[in-house]
Structure formats: structure tokens, C-alpha cells
Amino acid sequence: MKKLDNTLIIGIGNNTRQDDGLGWCFLDALVKNGFNEEKLLYKYQLMVEDTDLIAKYKTVFFVDANKTALNEGFLIEKLTPSKKVSFSTHAVPPNQILNLCETIYHKKPTAYLIKIEGYEWDFKIELSKKASENLKNAIKAFIKEF
Amino acid sequence: MNPRKIIIEPVTRVEGHGKVTIKLDENGKVSDAYLHIVEFRGFEKFIQGHPYWEAPVLVQRLCGICPVSHHLAAAKAIDQLVGIDPENLSPTATKLRRLLHYGQVFQSHALHFFYLASPDLLFGINAPAEKRNIVAVASENMELAKKGILMRKFGQEIIKALAGKKIHGILAVPGGVHKTFTKEERAYFLDGIKIPNIDTMIDWSKEIIDFMKNYHLENAQWIDNFAAYPSNHLSLVDKETGALELYNGRLRSVDFEGNELLNIEDIEYRYHFKEAVKPWSYLKFPYMTKYGSANGWNRVGPLARLNTCKYITTPLAEIERRIFKSTTQNKPNNMTMHTHWARLIEMLHCAELMKELLLDNELMATTDLVRKGTPRTKGIGIIEAPRGTLIHEYHTDDKGLITKCNLIVSTTHNNEAMNRGVRVVANEILSEKPEITEPMLNQIEIAIRAYDPCLSCATHALGEMPLIVQLKDYQGNLIDEKIR
């Protein structure tokens, strides 16, 4: 089993809306690849109280579906905290969660956003073919790099 | 000066999407003001044809903030369809549902106070818009923000432990619950190892009430008078004692002076209430039939509950209730901004109740979780949701398929009250002013925000958060526009 002691991986999305489930499918794929499940978190959206959670980790990955085109079908980018506020109680962007974490807990986990391009968003529990392909490539790259 | 129309759309830091229109006459005086609820989803219709047991699962999708309230109100109604009245539910099932409910009220009140309302209180009504948010609160009062986050988290963890997940989980099934509480789950909330424990929640609830009392002392002129107006107040109360009751009780309404207007069995609500409709809002206007739509509307929620109940059963919250009531010489409190204070007293009450239940071994019983009686074709479930009295009613055919559904959501009861608040504030701050400033418009929103309206629940959808203000002349021509 591949242990993720100081690392948390958060899959964001909704697997009943086709490619919006890419974040969750990424976590499923990690489990199949032997990663320990305790450090994999499935979420519909990020909320303010997730600040408390990520403050406990050295490294955090956020994995989410992306509606706009990405060159390789996925992109892994390093995140920096954002002071911009587009606050809703229903969803908070990862970079704002990082900012809150730094402000309240004085913790700066190294954070990455893994964007995976999706195409279909209907009421269905199945990824589109192209999104599945992007997912495979994203998993390969993640395992290779990290 | 020509007559003008001011539109605030959408209203910010509330749950959902609303719009305010304020009309100014040729002298710049407010001639009318409305809060429009401009969403429509129609859950009452599309639940029809579904099997009755799906209701507690489906209808909670109305909302991402208070799904537990809808889940439990629907469950209480569905219990009756399988022949079980609230009194006949097993003690363990009742206690588990109550614990879930108190966790929900606790987290929802924490969310509203710390994330939505506290910027107005901490920074004042004239603070720049970019400062009125939780990030600014965190920057200037880190400890307050941290406690707010952890208090909300505690309530959500209770929900997760009982319902499987924090949002749209499932605990209740027709006639009971599908799971019990384990020793390990209980220890999580008592030992304080992984999260601050329930005693800490009680301590922090007391601290935040102290903060509010000090705030009141320093800002009495504003907080006592802003958006204040007389009204009726409605909530459930304990059937025997008249104490504050959030899960199961009688419906009681009092007028602004404390005269009792209504005291009925909850399931008789349909004989005592009607709902009016107005062409400019999707949100209905409930009122007590006997008193008509002009005089029969109620406020609901924390302020109303502290006005209708005779006392609070938990000791610390009761001490705070007495202090709260002393500000009005034990008469009903009609000061809208005191709703925040009442909300915090309820948080303390819920924390105390959660502790009682967490220490109750009956919570961990593994038998007698579900009961069945003689099936019926009508069920009515009423609970006190965080924002006020929540009513679910379902009718079924002989196959158990839902034929009719009626939902009166807390925010719906507060519809007239919120409109009244908008008019009061608009009259005070906008009439005959040469310039309409952004802080002035924020005050309109503060009057609405005090009710913690869940516009998503009341009609039901999510909305974006920018503020657009348009000035129009009496013919509807756009004169000026500001976008925040």
C-alpha cells in the first residue's frame, strides 16, 4: 500500500453528473493503484470548515473536473492563496481555502490543483470516453511526479 | 425629481436568490418596497407519484444548508403514513432524531452568525463591501473565526455520524431510524481528542453570547431600533409545559404584546392557516385564517421562539433567556436585530441538549429502532427548523404513491415580516436623501439577513452573490447602475 501520511487528496465533484465525477473517479483510481483510502476525501464542494482540515497536512491536492479545454486533457498546477472573496456558504474555491488556512491557522500546506477536462454533464453515473482517457493520463502523470 | 425605482439584485449573504425593489415618489420619499423571491422549483408538484418512503430522501434536496430539517419534517409525516405518531416512535429512534436535529440547528446557527452576520456586527454598517465577509473577520478576529468554523464543524460531524454524510444523508426511515450510535462515535464527541468536545461547544456558546450582550450594551440605540416593528410570533412549544421545543409540540402564536392568538395541535395547522399569493413573488404569504392576511401573519425563527415559549429546559440557556427577556420586561421582543442574540441562546440550548443525549446510553440501543402501525393516507410533520416553523404534509393513494404535498417552509412564514423590515428601513434611511449610497443599501440587506432567510428552501435554488443596483425613473428607464 502506498501511504500518504502528510498528504491529503480531495476529489471535488458529483459522480451522478457524468464528467463532474472526475474528481471522485481520480480517487477511485488511486485506491485501485494501492493508495491508502484514509487520506482520500470525496466532496461535492469545498466549504469554509475545510480550512481546519487542510491545516493538518503538509501537502494537499484538490482534484476537480474542468469545463474549459486543457492541452493534454489535464493540468497539475501549484496553488497560491488568494485573498479574493467570492464567498458563498455552498462552495469556496481551493485558493481561498488556502488563504483562510494561512490567516486563521498560520499554516501553509503545499497545494496543487489537478484539473481534468470533462465534456458531458448530464444526469448519469458514467464518464464520457474522452474524460476517461484524460483521467488515465492524469493518474499516470500524478503517480510519476508524486 | 421624478419618481424612481431602486432595485437590489441579488440580495447578498443570504441563502438563495432574492431581489429588493424600492419605489421613490417625486419628493424622494419611499412609496413602496418589496422583497421579491425570484426562483421557482416546484418540489410540491414533482414529488407527486413517488412512493411515500422516498419523501424524506428526495425533499431534503431542497437545500444544502438545512436538508436535515426537511428530512426530519418529512420523516415525521411519513411515520404517520405507516401508523406511527411522534409519541409512538421508539425512545431510541426519537433520541437519535433529536440529536440529529440539534446538531443541524447548532451548525446552521453557527454558519449564519459567524459567516454571514458577524461582519455587519464587527465592522459596522458603513464598512466597505469588500470587508464584509468571513475572510475579513478571520483577519481581524482570528479566534472568533476559528471558533465559528469549529462550532459549525461539530454540528456537521454530529450529522455525519448519524446520517452518513454532512449534506443529504439519511437517518430516518418510515417509523424509525436505520442506524444506532456506537460507543466509538459517541467518544469522538466527548473525549476532545480529534475535535473540541461538547463541553467546549457549551463554553464557546456562552462566550459568544457574552460577546453579543456586550455588543448590545455598546450599540443599544442601533440594535434595539434598527428594523424594529411589532408583529405576531409563531413556533412550536412543548405540549405539556409550553417550554421551548424544537422537534415536536403544539403550535402557539402570540401578538406583539404577548396575548395568545393560537394554541393548537400541530397537525391541525391546515384548519388555521391559509396562504396568500402576490404577483411579484414566487414566495407565498401564510397567515392565520382567523385574523386575516393583514393581521394574521407571523414572524418565525429564534426571536419568535423565545417570545412564544414560557421557558427553556436546559439551565444555562434558561439563564440567558431570562437576561434576554429582561430587556423587554418579559414582554415579547419585537426588535429584529435581537434575532441574532436569540439565535445564540438557541445554540447554547442545542449544545446542552446534545450533551444530555450524548451521555444517554439509550442512544446506543440496537433493538426497537423501527415500529409500524395501521397504515394511513395522510401525514403531517412539523418541526422547528433553524429558521422557524417548517411544515410538511403528504397524502397518498392506496398504493402508497404521493398524490398531494404541501410545504410551508420557515422563510415563507417570514415573508411578510421581511417585507415589513425592508419598508421600515427604506423609509428611515432612503426617504428624501439626495444620494443613495452602497452602505444605505447594505442596511436593507441587514434587515433581511436578520431572519437568515433560506430563499433556496422557500422556492428553491442557489444564486450568485454580486449586487446590482439600478436606478430607474417612473417609466422604468434606467437612470444609473452600480455593480458591486
Q: Where are the domains of chain B?
A: 4-41+416-483, 90-226+349-363
Best mutation site among A16, A86, A90, A106 for testing chain B: the one with the most B CBs within 10 Å? A90
pLDDT in tens, B392-439: 999 999 999 999 999 888 888 999 999 999 889 888 888 877 777 878
**H runs (alpha helix) in B53-141:** 55-58, 67-81, 91-110, 118-123, 134-140
User: What is the spatial distance between Cα B164 and Cα B375, in angstroms, rounded to a whole number?
Assistant: 28
Confidence class for position B465, pLDDT limits 50, 70, 90: very low
Mean pLDDT along residues A113-130: 95
* pLDDT given for residue A98 in this prediction: 95
Task: For residue A49, give the chain B residue with the closest CA.
Answer: B149
H/E element holding B344?
helix B338-358
* pLDDT given for residue B37 in this prediction: 67
Chain B residues within an 8 Å CB radius of A100: 134-135, 138
Q: Name the pTM for this structure.
A: 0.88
pLDDT above 80: residue A70: yes
Task: For residue B13, give the chain A residue with the closest CA.
Answer: A88
Which of A13, A82, A50 shows the shortest CA–CA distance to B149?
A50
Chain A residues within an 8 Å CB radius of B153: 49, 52
pLDDT above 70: residue B385: yes
CA distance A3 to chain B (A): 21
Q: Do A90 and B64 touch (CB under 8 A)?
A: yes
Chain A residues within an 8 Å CB radius of B154: none
In angstroms, the Cα distances linking B349 to B82, B110, B205, B357, B390 are: 32, 13, 9, 12, 19
**3-class secondary-structure state, position B2:** coil
Mean pLDDT over the full length of chain A = 91
User: What is the spatial distance between Cα A99 and Cα A102, in angstroms, rounded to a whole number?
Assistant: 5
CB neighbours (10 Å) of residue B363? 20
User: What is the spatial distance between Cα B258 and Cα B272, in angstroms, rounded to a whole number?
Assistant: 19
Cβ A19 vs Cβ A66: under 8 Å = no
* pLDDT given for residue B444 in this prediction: 84
* pLDDT given for residue B458 in this prediction: 45
User: What is the spatial distance between Cα B441 and Cα B469, in angstroms, rounded to a whole number?
Assistant: 9
Q: Do A96 and B145 touch (CB under 8 A)?
A: no
Q: Report chain B residues touching chain A, CB-CB < 8 A.
A: 15, 64-65, 111, 115-116, 130, 133-136, 138-139, 142, 145-146, 149-150, 152-153, 156, 167, 462, 465
Confidence class for position A97, pLDDT limits 50, 70, 90: very high
pLDDT above 70: residue B40: no
Which of B67, B206, B65, B99 shows the shortest CA–CA distance to B147?
B206
pLDDT above 70: residue B382: yes
pLDDT above 80: residue B278: yes
Q: Do B115 and A48 touch (CB under 8 A)?
A: yes
In this complex, the residue of A88, A89, A103 whose CB is nearest that of residue B138 is: A103
pLDDT above 90: residue B132: no
Which of B111, B174, B378 shows the shortest CA–CA distance to B270?
B378
B42: Cβ contacts below 8 Å, ≥ 6 apart: none
Peptide bond before residue B3 is cis, with ω within 30 degrees of 0: no
Cβ A13 vs Cβ A119: under 8 Å = no
Exposure of B45 by Cβ count < 10 A (0-12 exposed, 13-18 middle, 19+ buried)?
A: exposed
**3-class secondary-structure state, position B244:** strand
User: What is the spatial distance between Cα B78 and Cα B94, in angstroms, rounded to a whole number?
Assistant: 14
* pLDDT given for residue B409 in this prediction: 87
User: What is the spatial distance between Cα B291 and Cα A91, in angstroms, rounded to a whole number?
Assistant: 42
* pLDDT given for residue B284 in this prediction: 85
pLDDT above 80: residue B71: yes
Cell numbers at residue B377, please? 393516507
pLDDT higher at B334 or B441: B334
User: What is the spatial distance between Cα B305 and Cα B383, in angstroms, rounded to a whole number?
Assistant: 12
| Candidate from B36-50, B217-231, B256-270, B330-344 with smallest mean pLDDT | B36-50
User: What is the spatial distance between Cα B480 and Cα B484, in angstroms, rounded to a whole number?
Assistant: 14
| Candidate from A106-115, B42-51, B57-66 with smallest mean pLDDT | B57-66
Output the CA angle A78-A79-A83, nearest 5 degrees: 160
Which of B56, B266, B332, B312 shows the shortest CA–CA distance to B168?
B56
Mean pLDDT over the full length of chain B = 88
Mean pLDDT along residues A87-104: 83
Mean pLDDT along residues B158-163: 96
Mean pLDDT along residues B304-332: 98
* pLDDT given for residue B74 in this prediction: 96
Q: Do B15 and A89 touch (CB under 8 A)?
A: yes
**3-class secondary-structure state, position B379:** strand
In this complex, the residue of B65, B135, B153 whose CB is nearest that of residue A49 is: B153
Q: Do B135 and A89 touch (CB under 8 A)?
A: no
Cell numbers at residue B158, please? 454530529
Q: Which residues pair with A41 in a beta bridge?
A: A10
pLDDT in tens, B439-457: 888 888 888 888 887 764 4
Q: Domains (ranges, CATH) in chain A? A: 7-145 (3.40.50.1450)
* pLDDT given for residue B93 in this prediction: 98
Q: Is the dihedral of CA B277, B278, B279, B283 positive or negative?
A: negative
In this complex, the residue of A49, A86, A90 whose CB is nearest that of residue B152 is: A49
| Candidate from A84-88, B28-32, B61-65 with smallest mean pLDDT | A84-88
Which of B286, B283, B226 shows the shortest CA–CA distance to B262?
B286
Best mutation site among B11, B108, B134 for testing chain A: the one with the most A CBs within 10 Å? B134
- Type of residue numbered A145: E
User: What is the spatial distance between Cα B106 and Cα B109, in angstroms, rounded to a whole number?
Assistant: 5
CA distance B268 to chain A (A): 35
* pLDDT given for residue A19 in this prediction: 96
Q: Do B138 and A104 touch (CB under 8 A)?
A: yes
Confidence class for position B115, pLDDT limits 50, 70, 90: confident
pLDDT above 50: residue B460: no
Task: For residue B135, give the chain A residue with the closest CA.
Answer: A100
Confidence class for position B475, pLDDT limits 50, 70, 90: low
Output the CA angle B313-B317-B322, nearest 5 degrees: 95
Cβ B397 vs Cβ B378: under 8 Å = no
Q: Do A104 and B115 touch (CB under 8 A)?
A: no
Mean pLDDT along residues A71-92: 82
* pLDDT given for residue B15 in this prediction: 56
Confidence class for position B300, pLDDT limits 50, 70, 90: very high
User: What is the spatial distance between Cα B275 and Cα B268, in angstroms, rounded to a whole number?
Assistant: 15
β-bridge pairing B4-9 and B468-473: antiparallel
Residue B213 phi/psi, 5° resolution? -65, -40
Q: DSSP of B245-312, one letter per residue?
A: -SSS-EEEEE-TT--EEEEEEGGGGGGTEEEE--TT-SS-EEEEGGGHHHH--EE-SHHHHHHH-S--
% of chain B exceeding 70 in pLDDT:
90
pLDDT in tens, B213-248: 999 999 999 999 999 999 999 999 999 999 999 999
* pLDDT given for residue B43 in this prediction: 82
Q: Is the dihedral of CA B428, B431, B434, B440 positive or negative?
A: positive
ipTM above 0.90, yes or no: no
* pLDDT given for residue B39 in this prediction: 58
CA distance A72 to chain B (A): 31
Confidence class for position B367, pLDDT limits 50, 70, 90: very high
Mean pLDDT along residues B318-345: 97
Q: Do B149 and A104 touch (CB under 8 A)?
A: yes
pLDDT above 50: residue B292: yes
User: What is the spatial distance between Cα B278 and Cα B410, in angstroms, rounded to a whole number?
Assistant: 18
* pLDDT given for residue B348 in this prediction: 98
B182: Cβ contacts below 8 Å, ≥ 6 apart: B364
Cβ B77 vs Cβ B390: under 8 Å = no
Cβ B475 vs Cβ B6: under 8 Å = no
